[in-house]
Structure 1
Amino acid sequence: MNEKRHEQPGAARVGVRAPGASLAPGSVVGDGRYRLLAQFGIDERAGAHLWRARDGQLRRDVALTLLVGDPADAESARMARKTLERAAHAAQFHHDGVARVLDVLSLGNGITSSEGLLGVVVTEWTKGTDLVDLVAEHPVAPLPAARMVGKLAEAIERAHQSGLVLGLDHPQRLRLTTDGTLRLAFPGPLPDATLRDDVKAIGAVLYLLLTGRWALPGGPAALPSAPHTPNGRLVPPRALQPQVPIELSALAVRTIEDGGHGGIRTSAAILRALEMAVEAEERTQLIQAQAAAGVRPDDDGTIWTTKRPVKDRARRRKLALGVTALVVAAVAILAWLGMLAISFFQTDPDTGPPLNLATPTATAPPPNSAAPPPPPPPPGQAQIGAAVVPTKVSVYNPDGDGDNTSRANKTIDGDPSSTWRTDQYNQQFPTVKKGVGLIATFNDPVNLAKVTIAGGSADTVVELRTADSANPDLSATHVVGTATLNGPSTDITLQQPQRTQYVIVWITQLAKNGGKYQSQIGELTFLPAT
């Protein structure tokens, strides 16, 4: 793999100047020990300049994180000391996913004020490719991207168990090694970096590999920023690259975004989710490879490794004639048995009037009498009125792009057989995402008392929620009812009518079918209180 360098504008010519110093290729730092060779990036947030250098004493290449600033600035000097302290602690940590810290230099201990530096972190040099160059032409395929991030997540988990923050929330601090794994090549966490920042960085790196865009603030100018929806939510990778599996797309977004139900906040949770996503993607690729090779599952799930059995037309015709003859014979026998039954129970005029088999308490209503009125509703429950139809129904998915959005309005077309379906998932909610649902919008607020769901997938668990807008955060909605779908239709009756203009049918658990997870809804009926 060719090793590349990503230069900052003007870095090769001038770099950053300070009194009596110039950072440029050929310059020396650290009391003349390290000769600068090439710059690989700048983390502007910390004034950290990332260089490849030559160790003149040990005659080997090293990676330098140069903390550039004014020594007279007390705040800059304090932040630099904090970064150096954290880097020194990381020197005791060893993992293939993190370059080994060789030395930490500070003012008066390896560097002088004339060099214009506040500190230097020296680490072993990592051969490979700059992460920016890796995605410059096109994003990385989903399966390799997941594997790359998995190795990095392992290092994060090990470090966090030791109480260490690694500080990898800048793409130019990472490099792809010659064996295809990601590595933190320029350690040196920001003074205020937290464990959560490391976790968010894993999601941002996954997002970058899948889309070529950086989703955290403070990234390099060479990388485009990740787009956001009008309500400020991060656009999922799948919306930018349709070949990205739903699981990986949701994992990236849930890891980066703060707050909310279902977010991923630990590296251990990321590792588990990545393992499942890799397993699902490998299985999908195996099925696709089998299909390309002519190895296809039959209708009953059987896989024929050569070819399907030959279907003989003559044999099929004989079989059809035989089945027809059996059906005719069965009908004749049933008709004969029916005649016997009628003859047995028919009244014989010589034996008197037929027996009265009615129970004494079962009395028929007198002719032309009015039917009894329906029972009143239970105390405290509102009287239900005629159904109201929303102006539209759309897919509600706070994690980003929705499922099967073009068919959402099928749920209010009056035909339960025309359905809306979720996407098909390899894992159950909330492992993949918090959930997905439908949001109904009415012209005017309605005093909602009951919702009927027809044609729904059995064992699907739903929450009925109300909202104040057409695109709310899930945390801003209110649960007013829950149900598990079962049978042709399921009613969700509210304990108290709710006046609202926006109603969400939120799926929290999908129906399972053949190892996959997917649910459908045929028709939604909204009933107000009178």
Structure 2
Amino acid sequence: MNEKRSEQVGVRARGGSLAPGSVVGDGRYRLLAQFGIDERAGAHLWRARDGQLRRDVALTLLVGDPADAESARAARRTLERAAHAAKFNHEGVARVLDVLSLGSGITSGEGLLGVVVTEWTKGTDLIDLVAERPVVPLTAARMVQKLAEAVERAHHSGLVLGLDHPQRLRLTADGTLRLAFPGPLPDATLRDDVKAIGAVLYLLLTGRWALPGGPAAIPAAPHAPNGRLVPPRSLVPAVPAELSSLAVRTIEDGGHGGIRTSAAILRALELAAEAEERTQLINAAGVKPDSDGTIWTTKKPVKDKARRRKLALGVTVLVVAAVGILAWLGMLAISFFQDNPNSGPAINVAQPTPTAGPPPSTEAPPPSPTNPPPGQAQVGAAVEPSSAAVFNPDGDGDNTSRAKNLIDGDPGTTWRTDQYRQQFPTVKRGVGIIVGFDNPINLAKLNIQGGSPNTVVELRSADSKNPDLESTRVLGKATLNGPSTDITLPQPQQGQYFLVWITQLTNSSGKYQSQMGELTFLPAQ
């Protein structure tokens, strides 16, 4: 008899006794359709009919064995948090109508530990939304922006919403995301809500879920061999770099570029959405940027014969005028260099005798790569790196095929970053070039040629070709200005891999992009 009772409780704990047409909550709520299961909390998400008020409601059923003390404790904590959220009012969160617990609306024979009753949200299931294709990036940003506003408001009130499961969310008829099944996990934190916003953005952009405990109906987001989350842009090239980086930085823990608060992600979403709107307006106007950021019209020139004749006549007049000016300048030059007898006696310039040498100089020679200022190490001949690759911990890298131009010995061949609409670190923490040598060198100075002005770079030491940014160490810093910039180390540093890390891009009329021509590494003598 006891074995049979235990078996029945086990079935109920897995939700086996829950089916459309069943009633819960002392017979008040009739189950209509199930919309998902959050396995982490044993939470079954249902649409139901309130028999007393004759309206549809959303039920979060906490299924479990009342005899399990730990499960009962976790359920009580979830119910307490849901009860506190009943005072919260925002269009991005379904209003909590009632909270039922054991002995208060729930009997032990129902196989339930508690029920959270909320108003029903009409709309579309999030899994159905991304089933066929990802959402357009701008639309995804705006959808998540509304959800982030709700999180920000809740966090100011000291509430954790618990939206880190896609089946708890629904898309409303007006195109906004809404937490339809509230009921945060007992140990959920404010940080979990923030990570959930990034995961929802990742899901809309790629159709993949990037947090643990997601539903089986949604593929898990892939990770690189180093354990880092693969950016959405790598899966869907149409995703803008700003949104791709934003999703990764919000989800992943650690690092100086991570987004850890709801206010920060809300501001970043606003900037990313505005930038994407400007891009769409430019595309709609029929213009497109060239590879260097210059915008050219896509309209074909009009074939107007009269206009072409006027243009040809104007060019001819300009050519004739230019020839006349050049001839006049030539005559002036000839008369200037001809001897003039009335100009006075010629001036004799004394020539040094073969035996007389120049007087000894009392000034110190200027600093040079082999003759540095006092107090700095003597440097030797440049050491040629064996490799150069783009280092971008927040994405795939910028112009990766041109990284080798920085170590080819020709400053005229350059590498440049992608063009961004926002400055670092809003979009990403930065981007750089990781340079490797066949053997460790004792580096004393780095010379950068052909750098964009006002670009800020750091020289960092690294322990491998693919390090974590947090494991690298800053050796020196400089703002590029002029055709050549040096980063001279206070003390030579031994190493085989070095990172030239850009922390600030050159700003040109609101477009952010930098380039470099050649990296020269000078060891200590």
Distance in 1 (CA, whole Å) between partners of 2:27 and 2:165 is: 29
1:398 to 385, 393, 396: 393
1:113 aligns with 2:108: yes
SS of the residue aligned with 2:285? helix
- Residue 140 of structure 1 corresponds to which residue in structure 2? 135
- Residue 10 of structure 1 corresponds to which residue in structure 2? none
SS of the residue aligned with 2:286? helix
- Residue 55 of structure 1 corresponds to which residue in structure 2? 50
One-letter amino acid of the structure 2 residue matched with residue 381 of structure 1: Q
- Residue 8 of structure 1 corresponds to which residue in structure 2? none
**Unpaired stretches in structure 2, ≥5 consecutive residues:** 1-8
1:234 aligns with 2:229: yes
1:268 aligns with 2:263: yes
SS of the residue aligned with 2:426? coil
- Residue 6 of structure 1 corresponds to which residue in structure 2? none
Distance in 2 (CA, whole Å) between partners of 1:19 and 1:142 is: 38
Cα drift, residue 218 of structure 1: 0.8
- Residue 91 of structure 1 corresponds to which residue in structure 2? 86
One-letter amino acid of the structure 1 residue matched with residue 140 of structure 2: A
SS of the residue aligned with 2:438? strand
- Residue 285 of structure 2 corresponds to which residue in structure 1? 290
SS of the residue aligned with 1:81? helix
1:215 to 193, 206, 210: 210
1:338 to 312, 333, 338: 333
One-letter amino acid of the structure 2 residue matched with residue 244 of structure 1: V
- Say if 1:212 and 1:317 are closer, same or farther in 2 by CA, change over 3 A: same
- Say if 1:365 and 1:411 are closer, same or farther in 2 by CA, change over 3 A: farther
Distance in 2 (CA, whole Å) between partners of 1:168 and 1:379 is: 61
1:159 aligns with 2:139: no
1:249 aligns with 2:244: yes
1:510 to 464, 484, 505: 505
**Unpaired stretches in structure 1, ≥5 consecutive residues:** 1-13
- Say if 1:453 and 1:310 are closer, same or farther in 2 by CA, change over 3 A: farther
User: Are the equivalent residues in 2 in contact too, given 1:199–1:266 (CA < 8 A)?
Assistant: yes
Greater shift in the superposed pair: 110-119 or 271-280: 271-280
Distance in 1 (CA, whole Å) between partners of 2:151 and 2:303 is: 53
- Say if 1:260 and 1:345 are closer, same or farther in 2 by CA, change over 3 A: farther
Distance in 2 (CA, whole Å) between partners of 1:300 and 1:246 is: 19
2:175 to 171, 180, 185: 180
1:474 aligns with 2:472: no
- Say if 1:56 and 1:132 are closer, same or farther in 2 by CA, change over 3 A: same
Distance in 2 (CA, whole Å) between partners of 1:363 and 1:46 is: 99
Cα drift, residue 388 of structure 1: 1.1
One-letter amino acid of the structure 2 residue matched with residue 440 of structure 1: V
- Say if 1:233 and 1:364 are closer, same or farther in 2 by CA, change over 3 A: farther
Greater shift in the superposed pair: 323-332 or 61-70: 323-332
1:199 to 163, 174, 194: 194
User: Are the equivalent residues in 2 in contact too, given 1:21–1:114 (CA < 8 A)?
Assistant: no
1:280 to 262, 267, 275: 275
Distance in 2 (CA, whole Å) between partners of 1:471 and 1:153 is: 34
1:315 aligns with 2:310: yes
Cα drift, residue 342 of structure 1: 3.4
One-letter amino acid of the structure 2 residue matched with residue 76 of structure 1: S
User: Are the equivalent residues in 2 in contact too, given 1:21–1:116 (CA < 8 A)?
Assistant: no
Greater shift in the superposed pair: 229-238 or 416-425: 416-425
- Residue 453 of structure 2 corresponds to which residue in structure 1? 458
Give CA-to-partner distance per residue, 1:94-152, whole Å, 9 cap, x none: 11110010000001001011111111000011111111111111111101111110110
1:354 aligns with 2:371: no
TM-score normalised by the chain length of structure 1 = 0.89
Distance in 2 (CA, whole Å) between partners of 1:162 and 1:357 is: 90
One-letter amino acid of the structure 1 residue matched with residue 62 of structure 2: L
1:428 aligns with 2:423: yes
Greater shift in the superposed pair: 474-483 or 320-329: 320-329
User: Are the equivalent residues in 2 in contact too, given 1:430–1:508 (CA < 8 A)?
Assistant: yes
Distance in 1 (CA, whole Å) between partners of 2:354 and 2:119 is: 96
User: Are the equivalent residues in 2 in contact too, given 1:15–1:22 (CA < 8 A)?
Assistant: no
User: Are the equivalent residues in 1 in contact too, given 2:445–2:521 (CA < 8 A)?
Assistant: yes
- Say if 1:208 and 1:448 are closer, same or farther in 2 by CA, change over 3 A: same
2:95 to 79, 96, 100: 100
RMSD across aligned positions (CA): 3.0
One-letter amino acid of the structure 2 residue matched with residue 73 of structure 1: D
One-letter amino acid of the structure 2 residue matched with residue 245 of structure 1: P
Cα drift, residue 313 of structure 1: 3.5
Give CA-to-partner distance per residue, 1:360-392, whole Å, 9 cap, x none: xx9999459999995653333111111111111
Greater shift in the superposed pair: 197-206 or 402-411: 402-411
- Say if 1:15 and 1:330 are closer, same or farther in 2 by CA, change over 3 A: farther
Cα drift, residue 511 of structure 1: 0.9
- Say if 1:366 and 1:48 are closer, same or farther in 2 by CA, change over 3 A: farther
- Say if 1:529 and 1:22 are closer, same or farther in 2 by CA, change over 3 A: same
- Say if 1:387 and 1:75 are closer, same or farther in 2 by CA, change over 3 A: same
Give CA-to-partner distance per residue, 1:159-198, whole Å, 9 cap, x none: 1111110000000100111221110000000111111110
Distance in 1 (CA, whole Å) between partners of 2:389 and 2:501 is: 12
Give CA-to-partner distance per residue, 1:231-252, whole Å, 9 cap, x none: 1111100000000011110110
- Say if 1:329 and 1:50 are closer, same or farther in 2 by CA, change over 3 A: same
- Residue 29 of structure 1 corresponds to which residue in structure 2? 24
- Say if 1:300 and 1:61 are closer, same or farther in 2 by CA, change over 3 A: closer
User: Are the equivalent residues in 2 in contact too, given 1:423–1:518 (CA < 8 A)?
Assistant: yes
- Residue 7 of structure 1 corresponds to which residue in structure 2? none
Distance in 2 (CA, whole Å) between partners of 1:149 and 1:196 is: 16
- Residue 5 of structure 2 corresponds to which residue in structure 1? none
One-letter amino acid of the structure 2 residue matched with residue 444 of structure 1: N
Identical aligned pairs, as a percentage?
72
One-letter amino acid of the structure 2 residue matched with residue 476 of structure 1: S
Give CA-to-partner distance per residue, 1:16-58, whole Å, 9 cap, x none: 5259982111111111111111111111111111111111111
Distance in 2 (CA, whole Å) between partners of 1:20 and 1:146 is: 36
SS of the residue aligned with 2:496? strand
One-letter amino acid of the structure 2 residue matched with residue 325 of structure 1: V
